[in-house]
Amino acid sequence: MDKLPKLGIPIIIILIIAIFVLVNSAVTIDAGHAAVLYETLGDGVDSDEPPLGPGFHIIAPWNRVIDYETRQQQLFEEMRVLSSNGLEIQIDATAWYEPITSELGKLHNTKGVDYLDRIIKPAIRSAARSVVGRYTPEQLYSSKRDAIQDEIFEETKKIVENQHIQLNGILIRDVTLPPTIKDAIERKLKQEQESLEYEFRLVTAEKEAERQRIEAQGKADANRILSASLTDKILQDKGIEATLKLSESPNSKVVVVGSGDSGLPLILGNN
């Protein structure tokens, strides 16, 4: 009976050690995440070793894992940059990025878990300064925003493409100019719009005047041709035809043939 307590103590110790080892060996990776294995007794993280994917894993208790989110992530960035004429412009941008899962070991050994601050943010700021510096405030405010957005994305992508990071897109949410510059641009745009509207009215008026000239010219040409074609004989025939039609009217009248000017009939009568 005295031996049982002596045997129970080592068993309890072994169980405690086993539970401790099991707890420190069991690792669960969440969905949308992956992890690199850091071997404490080895050379740290093996860059060529595939990362641990989502699910349950057993590792040596003296090792540890470093978790990375592998889903697309979003960055909101506000930057102050200079335009081509030296004016300070504020750019509000959104970037979408994610680490390349198969290259997590290389990313960890070269950049670490704070790769966002080390690589992505400096890359976006550098690209924004380079691109915005090519344009005037007027271009930034109006017609060139889409082009600027695409150029910033392409330049940032070139910087991060060999850094084990995937850049999915950049959106320029807003471009803020100094108030005085913004007001001047808006006045200029308004004046240009009014000028275009005035030119449109002038063109419309000129077209209408041209239409009226053409119509009047057509009528004048028609009258000239008609006058040239009307002889005295034709006029007499037309007058006779009209007189005969009037004579057929039920109203009482007297028709005197050949008594009018040029020999045209006269019509005398009452209604």
Buried/exposed 97-132: b ≥16 CB within 10 Å, e otherwise:
bbbebebbbbbbeebeeebeeebbeebbbebbbebb
The answer to whether residue 18 scores a pLDDT higher than 80 is: no
How far, CA to CA in Å, does 157 sit from each of 19, 93, 228? Answer: 48, 15, 82
The answer to whether residue 47 scores a pLDDT higher than 80 is: yes
Predicted confidence band of residue 193 (pLDDT cuts 50, 70, 90)? low
pLDDT tens, position by position, 53-73: 898 888 888 888 999 999 999
- Least-confidence region, from 27-31, 65-69, 266-270: 266-270
Each domain of the chain, given as residue ranges in start order, spans: 20-69, 73-177, 179-215
Tell me the mean pLDDT in the region 116-133.
92
- Supply φ then ψ for residue 39, to 5 degrees: -90, 105
Which residue has better confidence, 193 or 157?
A: 157
**Would you tell me how many other CB atoms lie within 10 Å of the CB of residue 185?**
17
Torsion of CA 37, 40, 42, 44, to 10 degrees: 50
**Predicted local distance difference test score (pLDDT) of residue 34:** 93
Angle CA 25–27–30, to nearest 5: 180
Tell me the mean pLDDT in the region 150-161.
92
The answer to whether residue 173 scores a pLDDT higher than 60 is: yes
Q: Side chain identity at 246, as an amino acid letter? A: L
**Predicted local distance difference test score (pLDDT) of residue 101:** 92
Reading the block at residue 140, the tokens are 């930034």
Tell me the mean pLDDT in the region 107-122.
93
Predicted confidence band of residue 82 (pLDDT cuts 50, 70, 90)? confident
90 closest CA partner among 182, 169, 185, 157: 182
**Would you tell me how many other CB atoms lie within 10 Å of the CB of residue 35?**
23
pLDDT tens, position by position, 224-243: 776 666 566 665 666 666 66
**Predicted local distance difference test score (pLDDT) of residue 1:** 46
Which residue has better confidence, 45 or 121?
A: 121
Query: What is the C-alpha end-to-end distance of the chain, expressed in Å?
Result: 156
Predicted confidence band of residue 116 (pLDDT cuts 50, 70, 90)? very high
Fold assignment, 73-177:
Tetrahydropterin Synthase; Chain A (3.30.479)
47, 105 contact by CB (below 8 A): yes
Q: Among residues of the chain, what percentage have pLDDT more than 70?
A: 66
**Predicted local distance difference test score (pLDDT) of residue 143:** 64
**Predicted local distance difference test score (pLDDT) of residue 136:** 82
SS3 28: strand
